[in-house]
């Protein structure tokens, strides 16, 4: 049987993100200093994914906004830390 779970790597120094465990993706977290040592064995310019910093939402406790860009599309999420973990709500999506 082949494992078809998508694997993504996120470069971050934010320890709160380590508790994020999505159902449909495997996430590898790597610190910025570790990323400098990492040598990419292939040309990843065609598939570039970037994540904004998690921006704190004013007047909302433990709530953040995150923007994810992948090639020519992107999503904006509202992320809230709860007792059971994190909730992600898609608030916008674009394709160019």
pTM value is 0.54
Position 44 in a domain? yes
Is residue 10 in a domain? yes
- Predicted confidence band of residue 90 (pLDDT cuts 50, 70, 90): very high
Higher pLDDT, 27 or 89: 89
Count: domains in the chain: 1
Token digits of residue 15? 């320890």
As a whole number of Å, the CA-based R_g of the chain is 15
pLDDT at residue 40 in the model: 59
Q: Which residue has the higher pLDDT, 44 or 15?
A: 15
Q: Pull the structure tokens for residue 35.
A: 């990323």
Distance CA 60, CA 80 (A): 9
Question: Tens of pLDDT along 26-83?
Answer: 888 888 888 777 665 555 555 677 888 889 999 999 999 999 988 888 999 999 999 9
Residue 1 lies in a domain: no
Average pLDDT of the residues in 5-23: 78
In a domain, residue 68? The reply is yes
**Which structural domain range is residue 36 located in?**
6-95
Question: Residue 23 falls within a domain, yes or no?
Answer: yes
Query: Does residue 45 lie within any of the structural domains?
Result: yes
What pLDDT does 27 receive?
81
pLDDT of residue 22: 76
Determine, yes or no, domain membership for 61. yes
């Amino acid at each position: 049987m082949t494992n078809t779970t998508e694997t993504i790597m996120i470069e971050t120094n934010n320890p709160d993100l380590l508790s994020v465990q999505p159902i449909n993706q495997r996430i590898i977290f790597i610190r910025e200093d570790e990323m400098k040592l990492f040598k990419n064995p292939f040309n990843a310019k065609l598939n570039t994914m970037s994540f904004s910093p998690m921006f704190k939402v004013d007047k909302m406790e433990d709530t953040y906004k995150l923007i994810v860009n992948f090639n020519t599309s992107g999503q904006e999420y509202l992320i809230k830390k709860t007792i059971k973990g994190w909730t992600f709500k898609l608030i916008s999506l674009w394709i160019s």
